[in-house]
Amino acid sequence: SSSSSSSSLATVPLIKFAVLGTLSVGTIGLANVACFHLSIPVMQVFKSAKILPVMLMGTFILKKTYTCTHYISALLISLGLMIFVISNAKVTPTFSMLGILLVCGSLTCDAIIGNFQEKLFRDYKQLMISESLMKSKIFGSISAFVICVITGNLMPSVLFCYKYFYTVSLWI
C-alpha cells in the first residue's frame, strides 16, 4: 500500500495538484464574489445549468462525446437560462454583467475540476483519492493565502477567525 503511494509521488507532477487546488479556490471565490452582483434566483439558475460547462470541458479535456438527448437537454437549458436572465435583467436591481461573468467563471472552474480529476485518475492508475485530495487542498490553501495577501484580505481573515474561533473550528 505504501509502495503504491510512494510510486504515485514520483509519477504525478505536482503542478497537476496545484491546478486542481487553484481551480477549487476559483470555484468558491468567484461564486462568493458573484453573490454581491446577482440575486439568489439568478445564482441558482446558473448553478442548475452546470451541465453546460461540464459537457463542454468533457469534450475538450476527455474527448467525450454525448448522445443526441444530452445535446438537446443542454440546448433547452441554455434557452431557458437566456430567457430567465433577459427577463431578470429588467426586473431585479441586483443583476450585472460582472456577476454573470463571475458565476460563469466559477462554473467553468468547477467543470474543469471534475473532468481534470477524471483524466488524472485515468492517466495515473496508482493515484489514490486521499493523496489527490490532500495535495490539491494543500495547493488550494497556498492559492487562497496568496490571494488574501494580494487583495489585502489576510489580516481581516485572520481577525475574523480569531474573533469567531469556536465557529471556525467547527467548520474545520
Highest mean pLDDT among 37-41, 87-91, 157-161: 157-161
| Res 159 pLDDT > 50 | yes
Query: What is the reported pLDDT for 41?
Result: 78
Spatial CA neighbour of 104 closest among 45, 147, 60, 61: 45
Spatial CA neighbour of 132 closest among 1, 9, 2, 4: 9
* Residue 90 pLDDT class (50, 70, 90 cuts): low
* Residue 5 pLDDT class (50, 70, 90 cuts): very low
Cα 41 to Cα 49: distance, rounded to the nearest angstrom: 13
Residue 122, classed as helix, strand or coil, is helix
